[in-house]
Every structure is written in C-alpha cells, then in structure tokens.
Amino acid sequence: MNCPFLKETRVRSCAAAPVRMQIRNGLETMGLEKCSTPEYCECKAYRERAGAGAAADGTSCPFLEERLVQFCSEAPVTKFIPYSEASLSRCGSGGFEYCSLYLNFAQPGLTRMHSGDERDPVVDGVRVPRRLYYTPNHMWLDVRENGACHVGIDGLLARALKSLSEITFATMKGVRRPSAALTLDGITWPITFPNPMLISGANLYLRRHPERLTDDPYGEGWLFEGWEAPSAKVREGLLSGEQAAAWMSQEVQRLNEFVHGCTARCDAALGPLMNDGGVAVADLAGQLQREELLRLLNEFFAPHAAWAHT
Ligand code: SF4
Ligand code: SF4
C-alpha cells in the first residue's frame, strides 16, 4: 500500500546535455520548448550531438527522454523517486505510517499511543495494535506483505519509562537482532528484539528527542526499520491479536502486583505509584529507587525475558 501523499508525474530530460537536465512539463504548450516539436533540429545541443548536417526526421528530438516518477507531495523540496525504487522505500510500502511527514499531515498533534485504529484493544490505557507482533520483553514488530519491518517498544514499556534521557543504537545495519540501550536515572538498560532481521536503518531522530520513543511508541517512536531476512523467521515465537491482548492484560496485572510489592517494602520513601484506579502510574521508573528500578527492568524488560503467564 502506497502513502497517500506519494504522487506520480512525468519527468522529461535531455540525454544530449552533459549534465542531466530536467525539462519542465507544460513548456511545449506555451510554445517555449522545441524538444517535442519538429523544430528540435534548431537546438544547439541536438546539432552538436547529431552532427551539423543532421536533419529532422521525426516530430520530437531523439534525445528527449521521458520517464514516470513518484514524489512526495508534502515534502518542502521535491525529490523524484524512480518507480523501481518506490516499493523499496517507506513511501511505497506500509512503512509510510512511520514517516514523520505523513504522521504530521495525517494526524497532526495526535499521540498515537491513544489514537489510531479504534478496533485495537486497550488494556488499562495501554493500546495493543492488532497488526503488530509482540515480544516477551515488550517490543513490537510490524511486518508487511512485502517483508518491510519496523520494530519499537510497546505501550506498557513506554508508560513505565517516561523519564528516559538517552537512546543509543547498538545495531545499525545487516542481519542482526535489533538492539539499543536506554538510559534513565543513571542506569543504561539494553533492549533487544529476539529475532534477527535485515536492519536497514535506526530512527536516529530519537537521539535528539528520546521523549518521542515514549510519547509515540507505535508511530514516530519506532526504533529500527528493515526487511524480513530470508534466513531468519522474524515472527517466530511472538504473539499477536487476541493472544497479545490477553498477555498484555496479564502483564498489567503483574506490574500492578510488582508495584504493590514495592510500596510494601519502602512506602515511606516512594511517591504515589498507583493511580486512583489501582493502575501503575506513568513514569513508574522515575518514581522508583535504583534497586527497585533494576528489579522492574529485569523482571519485565530484560532481553532474555520469557513469556509470563501465557
Ligand atoms: S531539442 Fe533535443 S538536444 Fe535539444 S534540449 Fe531538447 S532534447 Fe536536448
Ligand atoms: S516522504 Fe513520507 S509523507 Fe512523503 S510520500 Fe513518503 S511516506 Fe508519504
């Protein structure tokens, strides 16, 4: 599926020019261009390439090239994408849903943690998009029909880590398990997607704006993009659909029990960890003491985490 902002147009250029030069469409109808008329033989570039004595033998210049290209109608500077490349870019695949331009124009000002497909299950305020696959350490995978993949963290991890200060990407290219390190309150914690994929890039924008990871975990906060690798099963062992929603419900419950345990151990030193409804507060990590924070990360978000209660 193509991005709705991806448009197509005809681009004409002169193959005789030393540097590929685009010929603006519409000039021919204004009588300002000779390339597509029998008058092309008067063109200096044509005569130099074809020879001084060359005579016109057609209605348009043989050096006039025309191709169909695509371009982003929302980009401030128009950049043409050849048809053969569009399907490999996020514009020509489902990956457009992770493009900042698309998100800003299609859903201005919305935080997708709470918006999006209204049919998606929401568990205690945590959205569990149906189209995604989930890992036991609270990461998600979006894999499209053409094999395009995106990876990020889920809504529960995003809600717990609001005070994130830094993101470092450990893997950038190649068939690898996508890995990054999150820094919060002086602790740097590794997050690793359990299956290998062909990584083509990381969301480097998050280095300057780490808050985007937790504000919009299913949209602009994506971490890695790439492709399903032929040698690896990127979806292996992951949960989706109703199964994922049921697991998330158990995880929310498990998190609430963890928080009750923290409160019982050291309530004098902690701020409020539960909302009035008994649900763990946003930025739980920012409220915990160092030891409890490490326990939280280890029990819920460790790279080696296994499925709990499924
Ligand atoms: S007339 Fe032919 S050679 Fe001259 S600018 Fe047009 S395409 Fe190029
Ligand atoms: S750059 Fe973004 S908004 Fe523009 S066509 Fe591509 S995906 Fe769509």
Report the mean per-residue pLDDT for the chain: 84
68 and 214 co-located in one domain: no
> Do 119 and 193 share a domain, yes or no?
yes
Q: Say whether both 223 and 260 belong to one domain.
A: yes
State yes or no: pLDDT of 269 exceeds 70: no
Burial of 2 (0-12, 13-18, 19+ CB in 10 A): middle
Residue 56 phi/psi, 5-degree rounding, is -70, 130
Same structural domain, 39 and 156: no
- Tell me if 103 is assigned to some domain: yes
Residue 16 CA to ligand 1 center (angstroms) comes to 7
The protein residue with its alpha carbon nearest to ligand 1, atom 5, reads 14
How far apart, in whole angstroms, are the C-alpha atoms of residue 6 and residue 105? 13
Ligand nearest to the CA of 5: 2
Whether residues 230 and 139 share a domain: the answer is yes
pLDDT in tens, 180-222: 999 988 899 999 999 999 999 999 999 999 999 999 999 999 9
In a domain, 255, yes or no: yes
Domain that holds residue 128: 93-310
Which of these, 141, 130, 120, 11, lies nearest to 66 by C-alpha position?
A: 11
Does residue 117 lie in a domain region? Answer: yes
Question: Could you give the CA distance from residue 163 to residue 138 in angstroms, rounded to a whole number?
Answer: 17
Higher pLDDT, 70 or 223: 223
Higher pLDDT, 148 or 281: 148
User: Closest-lying ligand to the alpha carbon of 85?
Assistant: 2
Question: Do 278 and 150 fall into the same domain?
Answer: yes
Please indicate, yes or no, if residue 18 is contained in any of the structural domains.
Answer: yes
Ligand nearest to the CA of 7: 2
**Total tally of structural domains belonging to the chain:** 2
Domain boundary among 27, 52, 86: 86
Please check whether residues 60 and 199 belong to one and the same domain: no
**For residue 2, is it within any domain?**
no
Q: Per the domain annotation, does 1 fall within a domain? A: no
d(CA 92, CA 6): 8
Instruction: Please give the distance, rounded to the nearest whole angstrom, from the Cα atom of residue 24 to the centre of ligand 1.
Output: 12
**pLDDT at 113 (0 to 100):** 45
The residue assigned the tokens 């305020």 is 125
Q: How far is CA 141 from the centre of its chain?
A: 11
Say which range, 124-128, 135-139, 241-245, has the weakest mean pLDDT: 124-128
Residues 72 and 132 in one domain: no
pLDDT tens digits, one per residue of 16-67: 888 777 776 665 656 677 888 888 888 888 888 887 666 667 788 999 998 8
For residues 148 and 263, membership in a common domain is answered with yes
Does any domain span residue 136? Answer: yes
- CA 210, CA 232: separation in Å to the nearest integer? 30
CA of 6 relative to ligand 2 center, distance in Å: 6
Span 247-261, average pLDDT: 90
The full DSSP string for 86-142 is HTTSGGGSGGGGG-HHHHHHHSTT--TTT-S-TTS-EETTEE--TT-EE-TTSEEEE
Residue 23 backbone class (left: φ over 0; alpha: ψ -120 to 50; beta: rest): beta
Of 86, 120, 140, which residue is a domain's last? Answer: 86
* Residues 72, 98 within the same domain: no
Going by pLDDT thresholds of 50, 70 and 90, the confidence category of residue 111 is very low
Q: Which two tokens stand for residue 101?
A: 């331009």
**pTM for this entry:** 0.78
For the Cβ of 34 lying below 6 angstroms from any atom of ligand 1, the answer is yes
Q: For the domain that residue 225 is a member of, what is the CATH number?
A: 2.40.50.100
Residue 193 sits in the same domain as residue 71: no
126 domain-assigned: yes
Q: Decide the pairing of beta strands 148-153 and 224-227.
A: antiparallel
Q: Indicate the residue among 86, 114, 134 that finishes a domain.
A: 86
Residue of 6, 80, 100 to mutate, ligand 2, most atoms within 8 A of C-beta? 6
Q: Is the pLDDT of residue 288 over 90?
A: no
**Could you tell me if 69 and 130 lie in one domain?**
no
